[in-house]
Every structure is written in C-alpha cells, then in structure tokens.
Amino acid sequence: MGKLIKIVLGLVLVCIILIAAGGALLSTFIDPNDYKSEIEQAALDQGGIELNIGGNISWSVFPRLSLAVDNIDARFPGQPSLAHLQQAQISVRIMELFSGNVQMNSIIIEGLNLDLTKSKSGKVNWQSNTPDETAQNQTPQESNQDNSDPSTPSGTSLKIDIESVQVVSGTVNYSDEQTSQRFLVNNINLKTGRITNNELFPFNLSLNVKQLQSGKQVMEAATQFEGMILLDLSKQQYQLKDFIGQLNIKNGTNLHIQFKTNANADLIARQLIVDSWNAEIANLHLNGKLAITNLDTLDMNGTVTAAPFALNPLLETLGQAPVQTSDPAVLQSIGLISTFSGNADAINTKSLTLKLDDTSFDGNAGINLNTSRIKLKLAGNSINLDRYLPAAENQTATTEKKEESSSAEGYSKEEIIPLEPLQSLNLDAAISLKSATYQKFKMNNLDFAIDANKGIVKAKRINVDMYSGKIRNSITLDARKKPLKITTNKTITGLQIGELLTDLVGEAQLTGTFSTTSNITTYGQSVHSIVNNMNGKANVTVLNGVVNGINMAQELCQTINNLSAAGSVKSAQTVDQSTPFAKMGGNFIIKKGVISNNDLGVKLDAMNIKGKGAVNLPKALVDYQLALIIEENLFKKTCPVNNRLEGVEWPVRCKGSFDLEPTELCKPDTKAIRNILKKAVTSKIKDKLGSKVQDKLKDKLGDDDAVKGLLKGLFK
C-alpha cells in the first residue's frame, strides 16, 4: 500500500513538472503578439467591431495563466472611436481551473475610456450602422431563443474565487448633438475584496459627474458607494448589505445627499426586496421599504416616510430663496407618510398622509406611467391661509405696484396665464377642507375637483360654505389654442353680506341675504383681455337688507324740501342714517365687459326703487339711473312731504368712476326733480285758477326762485 501511494505521488509530481515545463516552453516559443491580426479579424467577424491592439500582449502559463494587454482601441465600422483601454490584466490558477473552479489573483482594468455620441440625425456610435450584419454573423445557437425555464437553476458547479477586481481611472463621455448636452463621468475607481461564492465581500466605487449644456457646465457631482455584496451563482441570489452612497452636488450650492439600504435579489424567483432604505438631503430625512415581486412586470409595494422638516433651511441648501410669509412660525413642520403599490404601468398609494404645520391631509394618489396622468384625492381638517401669505411689506409693495400700473395704463396686458403648462397638464384631483381662513374670510366645507387632459382644464367643483351661504362654482379653461377660453358657472345662495363685510373691513355698510347665478365666457391670458372679452348673463337678489350710512328717503325728502323752500333751507332731522329694503334684484347682460341692466328693483319700507343703466368694466365707469317712488308718507315727524308727491318717480343718478365714494357717486338728479316740481305746480295752479292765467304763469315758472316761492305756498 505504501508503495502504491509513493507511485501515485510520484506521478502527480511528474505531471506538475511537465505542466511547468510545458508552460515555460509555451511562453518561450509562442509569442501572442504574432496573433494580433487574427484576434482583430475575429473581433470584426464575430462581433462586428474593429479592434486595434496598439500595445503588447504578454502572458504566462504556470503557475498561473496570466494575460496582459496594452492600448486597445475599439469602434464600429464607419463610426467614431468608441473605447480606449490603457491596460487589462487577468490571471487564473491552472490547477483550480482543472478541478472546475475559477480562482484568480486579480482583474485589473486601467484607463478605460468610453466615448458615446449621438449625432444630430440620431445615429449613435455604440451600434453598428448595419445591424443586419450582426444578425447574419450570429451562429444558429446564438440566434435561437433560450427556451429554458428561468425558474430552474443552471446546475453549474463552477466556483469563483477572485482575490480582487480593480477599475482604475475610468472615463465615460456622452455627447448628444440633438440636445447640445454632454455628460462626463470620470475618475471611475472600483475596488473589491475577495470575491467567492456565497460569502460577503466588500466593494468601494467612486466617480465624478459633470453635465454641460451648449458647452457650459450646469452641474458637477462627486459620488462614492461602499458596502458588502454576497453572490450565490448556483441559486442566482444576490445580497447587498450595509450599502452607503454619498452624493455631493455643486450647482450654485453644495448639496450633500446620503443613501443607505439593504437589499436582496433572486433572479430565479424574479424578486427584489429592499428591507429598508433611508436618504438624507440637508434637513430632509426620507425612509421606507420596497418589494418587487416580479422583475418582469415590476409588481411592487412599499412605504415612504418623510420626517417633519422645515422648508426654508432645505430651500437655502438647494440654493433657492426662502419663502417669506406673514407668519414666520409656518412651514416649520412638513411631513409625509405613504404606502404604495404598482407595476410597470402605474403606481398608486394605498394611503397618503401629508402634514403642513397644524393641518393634516389624508387620502391617496397615483400616476399612470404610460400616460403620465396623475390622480390625487386629499381631505384636510383646517388651515389659516393668511399665515402663508407674503409678508406685509411684500404685500404693500405689490399693491402699490399694481395701483401705479392701474392708474397709468388701466388693466394690465401682461399675460399671467401661460398656455404651455395647461396644455401639458394631465391631472384628476379632488381636495377638501373642513374649514379655512383667507384674507379674513371664514370658509367651511371647501371642495375642489379638477380634471385636466389634452389642454382642457375643468374645475368641476369650486365649492365652499361661508357666512351662512353656499357658493357653488365651476370653471373650464380651454387651452388647446390661443387665446385661452374661460367659461364660468356660479351659484351663490343665502350669503350674509353684513357678516362678510364685517370680517373683511371691520364694518358693514350693506347687510342682507345675497343670492346670484351667472354664466360668463371670456377669452385671453391677461387681465385686460379677460375684462374686455367678457360676455354672459347673471341675476342678483338681496333680501332683507340695509344700506348703512345713508337714508335715501330722507335724502330725497330733504332735496324736495330744499328745492321748494324760500329763503334759508332747513336740514331735515336725521333720525336713522340707514336705508332698509325688503328686496333688491335684477337681471344683467354682459357684452364685451359692459354689464347692463333694465329691471333693477328695490323694495324699501317707505318707497320703491327702479333702476337701469350700465357698468363699464373696461373703462371702470358707472352710469346708472335710479327712480325713487314714495309709496307712503312715513316722514311726517322728520321730513314731511305733501301727499301730492306720493307715487312720483324721483330720479337719482349714479355716474362716475369706481374709485368715487358712494355719496359722491350717487346723487339725486336735481334738474329732473325741478322739472317734476314745475309740473306739479302747473297742475296745482290749473286745478285752482283754471286755464286763463296758466299761460302767464309759464313764463314766471321759468325762474327757480319763483318756483320755490310758489311751492312754499302751494304745498302748505
């Protein structure tokens, strides 16, 4: 037995000596550089790529099969240069290779430079100009589809043991002449530890990225990744553990992003599981989980959480101006919690919670990745929007600028509604709030619903309850072509005007229950165009109202008495500086921004008012004629009026610009009243004196002072 063992060992030793001697002879008598042309031709025939080996090929056989190649250039025929490789080195242990194992000392790739280009015509240099040639050069085995079941392990028993893999000073340069963009990825350095089957090994990858637009640098970033990788080749399972990625972006500011995760991939089961991930961008902290249960269809589910953060520190880190609000305590706590599911076609949230300071929104969202259509549904509790308005000094400056522009040029012709964003908007959103405050307006049950697609933006619901009333609006924007078409439908019922004005300006000059309906269409993207192209109709009703600060009946009574008095005029006793009315309303027609009305009616306690006229919005002018009719003499104590004046229409003219005070804008028409009084005097004289002296009095009545004297005598 001992002799047999010695014989076997001797044979093994002889084999080793023969292999060593053979390797020495091969490396001595065979120069691989003699086969450069054959290697280059084989690359062209089999891969359709032109190789140029400009350096030496060196190799050795024992104790390792080692190969080193210098200065290789590659390109597709007729295309610009694709790649240059300064040096590649690889060594394999011969004895382990005989036993079915691949054991390498190292793989080193130095100075890899890839130049990827796309021409203005769309041609790229990483594909052959004649792709059919590649298909023709394929062997039948290469052309046939692989019908093997991907869920079945390959069954290979190949074992890999690589001491290390290194990529040194790699570069990738991508140029796109169609967009004038260029991306440069340089200083690519990769180093791994010992790579073996089913054991964790460390790796470290670093690189720099630059983005240029029309030759000008717009972004620069440096990245570094490190972690542990486990490979199970027989089961096609891979694990990433303690992965840390760092990204430093220079784009007008220094932005640092850090990413951490653990992940497992199973290519047979077609699954990818990310147990946990988190990212940090300045003061923004994100974390979540992801499970892809089918890598082919990207069936997935997961979670995303953004811890509460302050907005302005993040904006400053991103190089953006901070948001200046009237309340500096807002935008200090913004957060998000979401669970989602989806596939390659769409991603939808099962639940979505947004936090904005003291306001919470709950709902869901989704996106169709094929059509880019976004769906959003959120319901919130309450918000005070006044806190988020610009700071007071900014508001004042904006208001002054608008007033200067308005007084000098009228309505602005600057386009404030851009068409392009409306044309590209693809959205189905519904947002509701239990309560909100905006510019002191108190609102409840806010409900907004928008459907936008292919240039049609429909705000189906703009609803709110406020001041005991209900406001129901809908707006449609047709942005398919210029000019923009705007259609609105509005209904307001039961709105308490007094409550609204009190909150808005601190006092209510008008009270009552307001209701209206309107249908208006206009065109344009500027305020000037919208106002000048406005057409439609509306009706308005105000019930149980009071106009404070002026008593129309007393004003009319005093005017009549002043015109009929001789000598000094005594002011009527003021008891109540208000005008109550039971009902006010009318129908309005709007044509090119001019609102006209012929049936205004107001029912007061002591008189009725009829009105007609127009409000010219483009010129900011009012020209409205009111007729006051005394139906009952309720002013005997404060301002007595002769019974003969009951039922007479007394005119009040409202004429002037929008900026006039109400008392300056609307005044009794004294000229018309004088004519009424003259007629009343003539009628009285005719009854008393007959027609004989009537003609003589006509000349006398032409004098206003004479009219006053006669009225004083006749109406006592």
**pLDDT greater than 60 at residue 395:** no
* Confidence band, pLDDT 50/70/90 cuts, at residue 56: confident
Mean pLDDT of 493-516: 86
Structure tokens at 169: 């000073």
Q: How far apart are alpha carbons 265 and 295 in whole angstroms?
A: 10
**pLDDT greater than 70 at residue 180:** yes
pLDDT, tens digit, 9 for 90 and up, residues 520-556: 999 999 999 999 999 999 999 999 878 776 666 666 6
Q: Which candidate, 295, 338, 293, 329, places its Cα nearest to that of 311? A: 329
435, 436, 437, 438: CA torsion to nearest 10? -140
Read off φ and ψ for residue 681, nearest 5 degrees.
-65, -45
Mean pLDDT of 307-323: 89
User: What is the SS3 assignment for 589-636?
Assistant: EEECCEEEEEEEEEEECCEEEEEEEEEECCCCEEEEEEEEEECCCCCC
Which region among 371-380, 535-544, 625-634, 675-684 has the lowest average model confidence (pLDDT)? Answer: 675-684
pLDDT, tens digit, 9 for 90 and up, residues 273-304: 998 899 999 899 999 999 999 999 999 999 99
Mean pLDDT of 212-219: 87
Check if the beta carbon of residue 182 is closer than 8 Å to that of residue 175.
Answer: yes
Q: How far apart are alpha carbons 509 and 618 in whole angstroms?
A: 26
DSSP-derived secondary structure letter, 483: S
- Give the number of other CB atoms < 10 A from CB of residue 214: 9
Q: Which of 74-78, 83-87, 159-163, 471-475 has the highest mean pLDDT?
A: 471-475
Q: Under the phi-then-psi rule, with left for phi > 0, alpha for psi from -120 to 50, and beta for the rest, what region is 543? A: beta
pLDDT, tens digit, 9 for 90 and up, residues 133-165: 444 444 444 444 444 454 444 444 556 778 888
How high does pLDDT run on average in the chain?
A: 79
Check if the beta carbon of residue 277 is closer than 8 Å to that of residue 287.
Answer: yes
* pLDDT score of 17: 43
3-class SS of residue 61: coil
* Confidence band, pLDDT 50/70/90 cuts, at residue 332: very high
Please, what is the Cα angle at 197 between 192 and 198, to 5 degrees?
A: 100
* Confidence band, pLDDT 50/70/90 cuts, at residue 557: low
Q: Which residues contact 645 (CB under 8 A, 6 or more apart)?
A: 560, 630, 680
Q: How far apart are alpha carbons 326 and 386 in whole angstroms?
A: 7
What's the farthest any 2 CA atoms get from each other in the chain? 172
Q: Which of 44-48, 122-126, 361-365, 579-583 has the highest mean pLDDT?
A: 361-365
* pLDDT score of 440: 79
Mean pLDDT of 382-389: 92
In order of 97, 116, 312, the CA distances from 283 in angstroms are 53, 37, 10
- Give the number of other CB atoms < 10 A from CB of residue 524: 21
Sign of the torsion angle spanned by Cα atoms 326, 327, 332, 337? negative
Structure tokens at 52: 């140029």
Mean pLDDT of 225-231: 93
Beta-strand pair 181-192/200-213? antiparallel
Structure tokens at 446: 């806010």
User: What is the SS3 assignment for 119-150?
Assistant: CCCCCECCCCCCHHHHHHHCCHHHHCCCCCCC
Check if the beta carbon of residue 263 is closer than 8 Å to that of residue 273.
Answer: yes
Q: Is 30 exposed, middle or buried (0-12, 13-18, 19+ CB in 10 A)?
A: exposed
Tell me the CA end-to-end span of the chain in Å, nearest whole number: 158
Q: How many CA atoms lie within 13 A of 376 on its CB side?
A: 18
- Give the number of other CB atoms < 10 A from CB of residue 85: 20
3-class SS of residue 335: strand
Q: Which candidate, 344, 478, 362, places its Cα nearest to that of 417? A: 478
Helix axes 552-564, 670-689, angle to 10 degrees: 60
Residue 630: what residue type? I
Q: Where are the domains of the chain?
A: 31-127+156-269
Q: How many CA atoms lie within 13 A of 389 on its CB side?
A: 14
**pLDDT greater than 60 at residue 129:** yes
Q: How far apart are alpha carbons 87 and 106 in whole angstroms?
A: 14
